[in-house]
């Protein structure tokens, strides 16, 4: 089940993304501060739920989910960002890039799980893809 390895990568990406979202939540400045401060908080709450759900599905499939930051950082395809002041444009750009990458990986996992007949993972990742695509649409509209 190749997609189980991809689930670990996805879990690792969620761990890194959660920290990035917190960083940008705390450090965003600019005209859209209030909107992005609130949106990043809602996003990291959503990410934590996904993180827990993905870890649980890995356990259900008989594997041990990764649980150490050093392991996440080795496996994640998303990269950390420095703690610094972020403009609102930077925040939107980072979120869109990361969300696009997560969406592509989610689609791969969904397709692999479908080929394996794993409908639980298919349903979970269809929801993730739907959420990414809707949020990306909102962010593109925000950027004009």
pTM of the shown model: 0.95
Residue 127: domain span: 2-143
Q: What is the mean pLDDT of each run of 10 residues along the chain (144 residues)?
A: 92 98 97 94 97 98 97 98 96 97 98 97 98 94 76
Residue for token digits 């298919």? 122
Give the integer Cα–Cα distance in Å for 56 and 40.
24
Q: In this structure, what CATH number is given to the domain that contains residue 94?
A: 1.20.1260.10
pLDDT computed for residue 142 by the predictor: 79
pLDDT computed for residue 144 by the predictor: 67
Give the integer Cα–Cα distance in Å for 105 and 129.
9
The number of beta carbons lying within 10 Å of the beta carbon of residue 14 is 23
Question: According to DSSP H, which parts of 28-61 are helical?
Answer: 33-60
Give the integer Cα–Cα distance in Å for 45 and 39.
10
The number of folded domains in the chain is 1
Give the integer Cα–Cα distance in Å for 88 and 86.
6
């Amino acid at each position: 089940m190749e997609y189980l390895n991809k689930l670990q990568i996805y879990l690792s990406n969620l761990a890194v993304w959660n920290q990035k979202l917190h960083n940008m939540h705390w450090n965003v400045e600019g005209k859209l501060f209030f909107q992005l401060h609130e949106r990043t908080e809602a996003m990291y709450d959503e990410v934590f739920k996904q993180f827990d759900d993905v870890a649980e599905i890995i356990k259900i499939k008989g594997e041990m989910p990764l649980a150490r930051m050093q392991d996440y950082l080795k496996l994640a395809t998303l990269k950390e960002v420095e703690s610094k002041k972020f403009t609102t444009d930077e925040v939107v750009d980072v979120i869109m890039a990361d969300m696009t990458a997560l969406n592509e990986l989610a689609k791969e996992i969904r397709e692999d799980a479908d080929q394996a007949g794993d409908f639980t993972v298919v349903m979970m990742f269809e929801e993730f893809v739907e959420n990414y695509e809707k949020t990306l649409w909102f962010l593109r509209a925000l950027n004009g």
